[in-house]
């Protein structure tokens, strides 16, 4: 044992030991990660449009509330999953996802096709206020504060600027016009809620969150979108 | 080898820092596991979220995960490393100031984490939820520790590095690499930032980080502790030197590749999924190499296991390590992942590693250290034995409940009836079926937490009620 090569060559030389360790822990990561930048992450389909100002604000709320801790956004290519949720998830659909929100738990159902499964704003409004009113026996907590708290367009602009910096194609005009765009998209949702007798304002957090949920999973060709999801993830 | 004749003692080495880390471990362990029990209760009975934004499951879960990983686990790892490396290298830490900076900087960082995360300030990436200013603090504090660590090695009075030190080195090198690469982001404000990677690239980098946080924080440094404290407690030399060489290098090389087993059947390119799966399966071999080397070190000392709670904890810990590193590679097989991914089975796997391996190693190490550091006899061995049984029953109840839950939900989700339609089209049907399993896990987790309280009481009583005996247990030299 005294003259074992390992003892002779490495154990007495801490610097060499540290360098060899660094090499050993670097190889796997480099081999797997570098091709994601050089080759890309899959089929070069047409890129979807980036999230609108209101959607990206809703996404920030989804992040803040930690929805990802209970809901995945990743439909796997299995028969039961396409029956339950719809078309399986494509890499290109995640193009503007910073951070990614695939999730690792399904305490609640997958939400990647939510925009196709449940496009109605009224449903989301009632569900966030009191989940059990729409899903009897659900274990999701109520999120009443989303009905009261307000979004701040200045925060949205800061978000868009940071995202534009790392490559999301927001133009200066998009960023400057964020508030007007949010009023417009939010206005449509507010009008739909008014039909159901619900009073809301475009800058309520619930409106932004609804816009994000309505967007989810809609970036696929129409025929694929219609194809599936008869089960409906209730 | 730790059993060479030595003469130094606590006057030569800095043991104050280890004491502080142990106190912190007990404190954070109780806090983080109490939150775990609370989360478990919320799943069984949703009103336990109290309708308060900061206490909803989604916001609280990362308090638990980061708490147990970076507060409970990291603190006892640091404490154990400071204690053992000074003795293995026969030299005091290079800088006591850096050690103290490390300790206080780390605790301040942890306080900021438990304040910001419930407020909704999060990056969402699992185990990397901390906002960017905290990430900077983590990097600075850890690099201070790394500097102190390597300078101490440089100053060492023994030429050859013992196997425990190899594992510590891999930990100290790898953690900063993972942390920095995964957290590269552009700030939008003081509390929000957006990663430079997007979509599946971000997902791959996250799970390269996430799996190796398991590998290089929940595994390698604790194997290092095992190589130091298990032979000491058993008073036997390590079983096989050759085995430790092979399993060390295989482990650190293979671990890094395994991240994609978290993304099987996702939109990640197929080749990457396959590479991740193959390397995860290979990982079984070095993992079991470590387990065998630990268990076989006890040959001829099994009678001590019957009486010594330290060894009891360590034996069960190493066995759970073997179990979860068998289960993990199985779950990396695509067709198994198809069933287990997204279900409670994964959470069961996590906690058989976390409660069984990490927690029990931590307890065993601390039961060994506390009497030696405070120079008092342990207040009550029988209380420690009670803790051991509470913890063991707790883990078993926890994991068995969640295997049941995971299989049930996996099978229900995929069930297709004769008409080719979903057997359980309503997701809530699945949710309701899981309720009894959630209660079972809650009971298991509560038992485990009660054990930690027993330990805390035992330590407090040791330090405050026990006089310093004339013949104290010998501190390791
Ligand atoms: C009293 C003991 C504990 C209880 C009751 C408990 C409970 C929980 C609960 C309820 C969750 C959420 C599971 C879900 O998403 O459905 C969780 C997640 C987690 N816990 Fe614990 N926990 C305990 C101790 C620990 C310890 C000691 C560790 C680590 C050393 C740990 C590490 C984790 C991790 C890593 C996760 C995330 C799992 C995943 O993402 O799949 N827990 N725990
Ligand atoms: C050879 C060793 C191991 C392998 C190959 C392995 C493999 C896996 C696999 C396949 C998953 C499930 C991923 C998913 O479907 O979402 C997983 C999850 C996990 N494992 Fe292991 N495992 C190993 C050992 C361990 C040990 C010893 C621990 C704890 C100390 C551990 C902690 C975790 C954690 C925390 C997760 C949850 C990640 C998350 O979803 O948040 N693993 N592991």
Over residues B298-310, the pLDDT tens digits come to 888 888 888 999 9
Same-domain check for residues A18 and A130: no
The band of B8, judged by pLDDT with boundaries at 50, 70 and 90, is very low
Strand partners, B194: B186
Q: Is the CB of B258 under 6 A from ligand 2?
A: yes
Q: Mutate which of A60, A98, A101, A220 to disrupt the B interface (most B C-beta within 10 Å)?
A: A98
Whether residue A158 lies inside any domain: the answer is yes
Q: Is the sign of the CA dihedral A40, A41, A44, A46 positive or negative?
A: negative
The band of B263, judged by pLDDT with boundaries at 50, 70 and 90, is very high
DSSP-assigned letter for residue B120: T
- Judged by CB atoms closer than 8 Å, whether chains meet at A99 and B202 is answered as yes
The answer to whether residue B389 neighbours chain A at the CB level (below 8 Å) is: no
Q: Which of B24-33, B62-71, B371-380 has the lowest mean pLDDT?
A: B371-380
Show residues of chain B in contact with A66, CB under 8 Å: 56-59, 61-62, 120, 122, 124
**DSSP states along B284-344:** HHHHHHHHHHHHHTTTT-HHHHHH-HHHHHHHHHHHHHHHHHHHHHHHTSHHHHHHHTBSH
Show residues of chain A in contact with B135, CB under 8 Å: none
- Atom 22 of ligand 2, residue of closest alpha carbon: B328
The Cα–Cα gap between B465 and B467 comes to: 6
- Judged by CB atoms closer than 8 Å, whether chains meet at B203 and A135 is answered as no
Same-domain check for residues A15 and A121: no
B45-50 mean pLDDT: 90
Same-domain check for residues A150 and A216: yes
The answer to whether residue A169 neighbours chain B at the CB level (below 8 Å) is: no
Task: Return the closest-CA partner of residue B6 out of B296, B232, B172, B264.
Answer: B232
Task: Specify the pTM.
Answer: 0.93
Cβ–Cβ under 8 Å, residues B286 and B250: yes
Report the CATH number that the domain containing residue A111 is assigned in CATH: 1.10.760.10
Whether residue A106 lies inside any domain: the answer is yes
- Closest ligand 1 atom to the C-alpha of B444? 5
- Judged by CB atoms closer than 8 Å, whether chains meet at A65 and B194 is answered as no
Same-domain check for residues A28 and A137: no
**DSSP states along B180-225:** HHHT-EEESSSS-EEESS-HHHHHHHHHHHHHHHHHHTTTHHHHHH
Cβ neighbours around B159 below 10 Å, total: 10
> Can you read off the two tokens belonging to residue B85?
């490396």
Same-domain check for residues A22 and A138: no
Task: Return the closest-CA partner of residue B203 out of A93, A225, A208, A164.
Answer: A93
Three-state SS for B422?
strand
Same-domain check for residues A123 and A194: yes
> Can you read off the two tokens belonging to residue B80?
């154990």
- Closest ligand 2 atom to the C-alpha of B210? 38
3-state secondary structure B259-288: HHHHCCCCCCCHHHHHHHHHHHHHCHHHHH
The structural domain count of chain A equals: 2
DSSP-assigned letter for residue A204: B
The minimum CA-CA distance between A29 and chain B, rounded to whole Å, is: 6
Cβ–Cβ under 8 Å, residues A140 and A108: yes
Whether residue A176 lies inside any domain: the answer is yes
- Closest ligand 1 atom to the C-alpha of B359? 27
Task: Return the closest-CA partner of residue B362 out of B128, B76, B113, B59.
Answer: B76
Q: pLDDT tens digits for B225-254?
A: 999 999 999 989 889 888 999 999 999 999
Q: How far is CA B318 from CA A4, A185, B221, B355, B395, in A?
A: 27, 57, 14, 12, 14
Residue A11: predicted pLDDT? 81
The whole-chain average pLDDT of chain B stands at 92
Residue B193: predicted pLDDT? 95
Whether residue A48 lies inside any domain: the answer is no
Rounded to the nearest whole angstrom, what is the distance from the C-alpha of residue B64 to the centroid of ligand 1? 7
Tokens 């995202």, residue? A163
Rounded to the nearest whole angstrom, what is the distance from the C-alpha of residue B321 to the centroid of ligand 2? 12
Q: In the structure, which protein residues have their CB atom closer than 6 angstroms to any atom of ligand 1? A: A 104-105, 107; B 33, 36-37, 39-40, 61, 64-65, 68-69, 72-73, 126, 346-347, 350-351, 354-355, 358-359, 445, 448-449
Task: Return the closest-CA partner of residue A183 out of A206, A201, A158.
Answer: A201
Whether residue A44 lies inside any domain: the answer is no
Q: Is the CB of B273 under 6 A from ligand 2?
A: no
> Can you read off the two tokens belonging to residue B457?
């009481």
Same-domain check for residues A9 and A103: no
**Low-confidence spans in chain A with pLDDT less than 50:** 230-234
B433-456 mean pLDDT: 96
**DSSP states along A136-158:** TT--PPP-GGGGT-B--HHHHHH
Show residues of chain A in contact with B123, CB under 8 Å: 99
Whether residue A43 lies inside any domain: the answer is no
Whether residue A227 lies inside any domain: the answer is yes
Task: Return the closest-CA partner of residue A182 out of A217, A213, A207, A148.
Answer: A207
- Domains annotated for chain B, with CATH where assigned, are 16-465 (1.20.210.10)
> Can you read off the two tokens belonging to residue B32?
């983080």
B313-340 mean pLDDT: 95
> Can you read off the two tokens belonging to residue B211?
């799996």
Whether residue A46 lies inside any domain: the answer is no
Cβ neighbours around B439 below 10 Å, total: 16
Same-domain check for residues A29 and A70: no
Same-domain check for residues A93 and A149: yes
Cβ–Cβ under 8 Å, residues B368 and B461: no
The Cα–Cα gap between B415 and B422 comes to: 6
**DSSP states along A92-127:** GGGTT-SS----SB-SS---TTHHHH---HHHHHHH
What are the backbone dihedrals phi and psi of residue B122, each rounded to the nearest 5 degrees, phi first? -155, 150
Ligand nearest to the CA of B331: 2
Who among B204, B347, B425 is closest to A33 (CB)?
B204
Same-domain check for residues A17 and A83: no
Same-domain check for residues A15 and A102: no
> Can you read off the two tokens belonging to residue B421?
């339609």
Show residues of chain B in contact with A34, CB under 8 Å: none
- Closest ligand 1 atom to the C-alpha of B355? 27
Look up the domain containing A22 and give its range.
5-38
> Can you read off the two tokens belonging to residue B118?
């419930």
Same-domain check for residues A169 and A67: yes
The minimum CA-CA distance between B192 and chain A, rounded to whole Å, is: 8
């Amino acid at each position: 044992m005294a003259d074992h090569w390992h003892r002779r060559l490495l154990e007495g030389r801490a610097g060499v030991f540290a360098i060899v360790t660094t090499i050993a822990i670097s190889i796997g990561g480099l081999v797997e990660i570098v091709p994601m930048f050089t080759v890309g992450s899959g089929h070069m389909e047409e890129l979807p449009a980036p999230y609108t100002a209101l959607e990206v604000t809703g996404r920030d709320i989804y992040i803040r509330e930690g929805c990802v801790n209970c809901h995945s956004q990743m439909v796997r290519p299995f028969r039961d999953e396409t029956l339950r949720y719809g078309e399986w998830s494509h890499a290109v659909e995640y193009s503007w996802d910073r951070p990614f929100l695939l999730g690792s738990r399904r305490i609640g159902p997958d939400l990647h096709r939510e925009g196709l499964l449940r496009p109605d704003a009224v449903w989301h409004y009632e569900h966030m206020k009191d989940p059990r009113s729409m899903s009897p026996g659900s274990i999701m907590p109520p999120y009443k504060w989303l009905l009261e708290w307000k979004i701040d367009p200045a925060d949205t602009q800061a978000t868009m600027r940071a995202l534009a910096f790392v490559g999301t194609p927001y133009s200066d005009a998009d960023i400057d016009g964020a508030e007007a765009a949010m009023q417009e998209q939010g206005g449509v949702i507010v009008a739909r809620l008014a039909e159901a007798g619900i009073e809301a304002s475009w800058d309520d957090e619930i409106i932004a969150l609804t816009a994000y949920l309505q967007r989810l999973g809609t970036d696929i060709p129409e025929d694929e979108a219609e194809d599936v999801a008869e089960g409906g993830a209730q | 080898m730790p059993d060479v004749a030595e003469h130094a003692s606590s006057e030569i080495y800095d043991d104050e820092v280890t004491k502080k880390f142990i106190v912190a471990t007990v404190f954070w362990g109780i806090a983080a596991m109490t939150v775990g029990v609370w989360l478990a209760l919320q799943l069984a009975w949703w009103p336990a979220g109290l309708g308060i934004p900061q206490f909803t499951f989604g916001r609280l879960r990362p308090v638990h995960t980061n708490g147990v990983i970076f507060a409970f686990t990291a603190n006892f790892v640091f404490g154990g490393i400071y204690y053992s490396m000074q003795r293995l290298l026969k030299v005091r830490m290079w800088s006591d100031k850096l050690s103290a900076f490390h300790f206080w900087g780390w605790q301040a960082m942890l306080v900021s984490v438990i304040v910001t995360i419930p407020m909704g300030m999060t990056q969402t990436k699992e185990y990397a939820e901390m906002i960017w200013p905290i990430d900077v603090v983590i990097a600075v504090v850890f690099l201070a520790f790394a500097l102190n660590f390597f300078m101490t090695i440089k100053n060492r009075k023994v030429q050859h590095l013992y196997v425990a030190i190899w594992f510590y080195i891999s930990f100290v090198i790898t953690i900063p690499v993972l942390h920095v690469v995964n957290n590269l982001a552009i700030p939008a404000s003081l509390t929000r930032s957006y990663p430079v990677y997007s979509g599946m690239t971000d997902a791959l980098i996250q799970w390269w980080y996430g799996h190796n946080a398991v590998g290089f924080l929940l595994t390698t440094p604790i194997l290092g502790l095992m190589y130091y404290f298990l032979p000491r407690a058993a008073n036997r030399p390590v079983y096989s030197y050759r085995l430790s060489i092979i399993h060390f290098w295989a482990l650190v090389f293979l671990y890094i590749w395994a991240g994609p087993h978290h993304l099987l059947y996702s939109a990640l390119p197929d080749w990457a999924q396959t590479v991740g799966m193959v390397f995860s399966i290979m990982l079984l071999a070095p993992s079991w190499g470590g387990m065998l080397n630990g268990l076989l070190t006890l040959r001829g000392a099994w009678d001590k296991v019957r009486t010594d709670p330290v060894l009891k904890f360590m034996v069960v810990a190493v066995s759970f390590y073997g179990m979860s590193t068998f289960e993990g590679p199985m779950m990396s097989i695509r067709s198994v992942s198809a069933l287990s991914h997204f279900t409670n089975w994964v959470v069961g796997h996590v906690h058989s590693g976390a409660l069984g391996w990490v927690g029990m190693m931590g307890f065993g190490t601390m039961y060994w250290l506390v009497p030696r550091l405070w120079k008092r006899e342990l207040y009550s061995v029988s209380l420690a034995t009670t803790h051991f049984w509470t913890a063991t029953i707790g883990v078993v109840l926890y994991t068995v409940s969640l295997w049941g839950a995971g299989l049930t939900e996996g099978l229900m989700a995929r069930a297709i009836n004769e008409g080719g339609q979903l057997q359980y089209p309503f997701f809530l049907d699945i949710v309701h079926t899981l309720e009894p399993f959630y209660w079972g896990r809650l009971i298991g987790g509560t038992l485990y937490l009660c054990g930690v309280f027993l330990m805390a009481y035992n330590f407090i009583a040791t330090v405050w009620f026990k006089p310093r005996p004339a013949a104290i247990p010998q501190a390791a030299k």
